[in-house]
Amino acid sequence: MLLQIDEPNTGTTKPESLSCAIGIDLGTTNSVAAIYKNGKSEVLQDDLGPLFIPSVISTQTGDLHSTKRMMHQPTTIISGNYTALTAAQNILKILKTRAEKALGYHVHQAVITVPAYFDDTARQATKDAASLAGIEVLRLINEPTAAALAYGLDEGKEGTFVVYDFGGGTFDVSVLSMRKGVFQVLATGGHTQLGGDDIDALITKHFGWNDHLKARFAKETLSHGLNEELLNTLCEPLIKQTLTICEQALKDAGITKKQVDGIILVGGSTKLQTVRTSVKIFFEQDPLINLDPDCVVAFGAALQAHQLTSKTDTLLLDVIPISLGIETMGDIVEVIIPRNSPIPIRMAQDFTTYENGQTAINIHVVQGEREFVKDCRSLAKFTLIGIPPMLAGAARVRITFSIDADGLLTVSAKEQTTGTIQQVEVKPSYGLSTEDYALMLKQSYEHAEEDINNRLLTSATIKAEQLIAQLESALNIDAHLLNELQINAFKICIQDVKSAIETQDRLSIQKACDNLASLAQPFAEKRIAHAIKQKFQHQTIS
């Protein structure tokens, strides 16, 4: 869900040592922890083996798999008391504990990777899970960017690269442009239900087995009656799907296969020779395969962690010392460029409107590490006008933060339909001393837990108020589609949500909203059916 901007006029401690930072690939199927030392990244290893663990949580009601897919709904209960956020928290806690055992010292910080398509909710949930696990997130970086870093594509190389990520549960492709030391994602694509697990399912079905582990072993060893030719035949439809997605991503990026300077393979499924051969034929060049595709994302994260923590002067001109962002609904800060990001840099996010018919938005640029605007430094304000009047949430406004090598920040807001644009320039470092930066960081550490809990509560409250407003509007228009009992049920449920908001208890608000959403689903379907019927009734045949 896009973050919304209002209509105009309307207990963590500071790390003991910055050297205790690792890279974490929090994966859908497996998660990996790595560290950079002696000039290269490597997977951490304790007495139990490499820190390459299944992303699975065992509960009394069974195992939780692929919870990463639910990170856009972090507080929704998946099983028992587990949510996607708590599942990620537990996985990260295990990685932290084992990493400390392997290294022999405390691990306070990490760079964690996320899919390029993760929205703000999923990204914030990942940060929250890490915080609850006792890890300060130095930076979240996109998985394809991490893979590119692992291959050294940030070291003076320029060009266009494709990251082909065929993992256990999902397929993702990203087209990256590297120009003057800046990564830009030109296009992404993927399928959340296409991965190595689907290959295992095809093998299981072919042999009539009921054991997916047996299928996986057969796939990896070409044993148990499975030969390479048969494996290729079984995999072919799935691989074709991935290449179709690649073709669309290239089209979206506006480039041809011949303009691709390199292909990086990520994910365990790319170890299959048939996948590598198919990718080679499609792109008409050999893919990069000299790094383990299971670990390449974690390697990039570890390298980034090393680069960030090896900096001793927070005022170095080649990094942003304090995060930059904008104000969104509820006085919440949405970070666009996180602290320690290298410059020059250009990053953008899409936002939307809060009210029906909204034709302008205020853009408030802020600097700081706190979750709320009142606790951050205001840098600039400007108004984007000329937004076509639409329903709340329908408009698309792209806000871009661009920082040049001299540290000058340009913030632009562009309405995507009309192309209307407004911008402002500001120097974030103006008027701040080293002591000011240190104080801002210190306060963020001291109030981290409190800020996160307040942000989650505020977000839940805003979501609840929007749900009430949308449903009350729908009832005003189409109450005739319901009987009196159904209308009364809605009134009671709406009141439950309002009462939950007054309690200021996030879980109560979430539960009340879920109940109201479930009650509203049949009504929404009736409204759609009614609208379609009305449309056809008024059509005439000429």
HEC profile for 246-266? Answer: HHHHHHHHCCCHHHCCEEEEE
145 shares its domain with 190:
no
Name residue 422's beta-bridge partners: 413
CA angle at 97 for the pair 93 and 99, rounded to the nearest 5°: 115
Token pair in block for residue 473? 């509007």
pLDDT for the residue numbered 539: 57
320 shares its domain with 397:
yes
202 shares its domain with 173:
yes
279 shares its domain with 214:
yes
CB-side exposure of 136: number of CA atoms within 13 Å? 29
pLDDT for the residue numbered 238: 94
Q: Is residue 5 part of a domain?
A: no
20 shares its domain with 70:
yes
Q: Which domain holds residue 219?
A: 156-290
Kindly give the pairing relationship between strand 3-5 and strand 345-353: parallel
pLDDT for the residue numbered 431: 64
Q: Is residue 107 part of a domain?
A: yes
The predicted model scores a pTM of 0.57
432 shares its domain with 460:
no
204 Cβ contact partners less than 8 Å away, ≥ 6 residues apart: 210, 211, 212, 214, 215
User: DSSP E strands: which ranges in 167-291?
Assistant: 171-179, 182-191, 262-266
260 shares its domain with 377:
no
pLDDT for the residue numbered 435: 65
By CB atoms closer than 10 A (0-12, 13-18, 19+), residue 457 is: middle
Determine contact, residues 108/138, Cβ cutoff 8 Å. no
pLDDT for the residue numbered 434: 55
Q: Is residue 542 part of a domain?
A: no
Token pair in block for residue 29? 């199927």
Token pair in block for residue 166? 């065929």
**Prior bond to 344 cis, omega within 30?**
yes
330 shares its domain with 386:
yes
Determine contact, residues 32/52, Cβ cutoff 8 Å. yes
The answer for 393, left when phi > 0, alpha when psi is -120 to 50, beta otherwise, is left
146 shares its domain with 15:
yes
CB-side exposure of 73: number of CA atoms within 13 Å? 11
pLDDT for the residue numbered 7: 53
pLDDT for the residue numbered 260: 96
Q: Is residue 66 part of a domain?
A: yes
* Angstrom distance (rounded) from CA 229 to CA 227: 6
**Prior bond to 50 cis, omega within 30?**
no
188 shares its domain with 249:
yes
- Distance from the first to the final alpha carbon of the chain: 42
CA angle at 109 for the pair 127 and 338, rounded to the nearest 5°: 55
- 61 to each of 57, 76, 81, 225, how far by Cα in Å? 11, 17, 11, 34
CATH of the domain at 497: 1.20.1270.10
Computed over its alpha carbons, how large is the radius of gyration of the chain?
A: 25
352 shares its domain with 424:
yes
CATH of the domain at 408: 2.60.34.10
Q: Write out the DSSP string of 323-341.
A: -EEEEEGGGEEEEEE-TT-
Q: In what order do the strands lie in the sheet with 397-403?
A: 3-5, 345-353, 397-403, 409-415, 421-426
356 shares its domain with 405:
yes
Question: End of a domain among 403, 424, 445?
Answer: 445
Q: How confident is the prediction along the chain (542 residues), in pLDDT tens digits per residue? A: 355 555 555 433 334 444 579 999 998 889 999 999 888 999 999 999 999 999 888 776 666 877 887 787 787 788 778 888 999 999 999 999 999 999 988 898 999 998 876 766 778 889 889 999 999 888 888 888 899 889 887 666 789 999 999 988 788 898 988 876 666 778 878 887 788 888 888 888 888 887 767 777 777 776 566 788 888 899 999 999 999 999 998 998 899 999 999 999 999 999 999 999 999 999 999 999 999 999 999 999 999 898 888 753 323 234 577 789 999 888 899 999 987 677 778 888 888 888 888 888 889 999 888 899 999 988 888 888 888 888 877 888 899 999 876 677 889 999 888 888 888 888 776 666 656 766 777 788 788 888 888 989 998 999 899 889 888 888 888 888 889 898 899 899 999 999 999 999 999 999 999 999 898 888 888 888 887 777 776 655 44
Q: Is residue 2 part of a domain?
A: no
Give the distance between the most distant pair of CA atoms in the chain: 81
Q: Is residue 6 part of a domain?
A: no
pLDDT for the residue numbered 138: 87
If you search the block for the tokens 């801002």, which residue do you land on? 440
* Angstrom distance (rounded) from CA 504 to CA 442: 28
Question: End of a domain among 281, 310, 339?
Answer: 310
* Angstrom distance (rounded) from CA 427 to CA 363: 17
Q: φ and ψ at 355, to 5 degrees?
A: -115, 150
Q: Is residue 169 part of a domain?
A: yes
Per the structure, the count of domains in the chain is 4
CA angle at 18 for the pair 13 and 24, rounded to the nearest 5°: 90
* Angstrom distance (rounded) from CA 33 to CA 25: 7
Residue 219 DSSP SS3: helix
Determine contact, residues 385/344, Cβ cutoff 8 Å. no
Q: What is the DSSP letter of 140?
A: E
Token pair in block for residue 112? 């964690």
Q: Is residue 179 part of a domain?
A: yes
pLDDT for the residue numbered 541: 46
Residue 52 DSSP SS3: strand
pLDDT for the residue numbered 10: 45
Determine contact, residues 364/413, Cβ cutoff 8 Å. no
* Angstrom distance (rounded) from CA 202 to CA 259: 35
What is the residue type of 353? T
Q: Write out the DSSP string of 99-122.
A: HHHHHSS---EEEEEE-TT--HHH
CATH of the domain at 22: 3.30.420.40
Residue 214 DSSP SS3: helix
* Angstrom distance (rounded) from CA 415 to CA 390: 12
Question: End of a domain among 406, 425, 445?
Answer: 445
Determine contact, residues 51/26, Cβ cutoff 8 Å. no
Determine contact, residues 316/322, Cβ cutoff 8 Å. no
Determine contact, residues 312/48, Cβ cutoff 8 Å. no
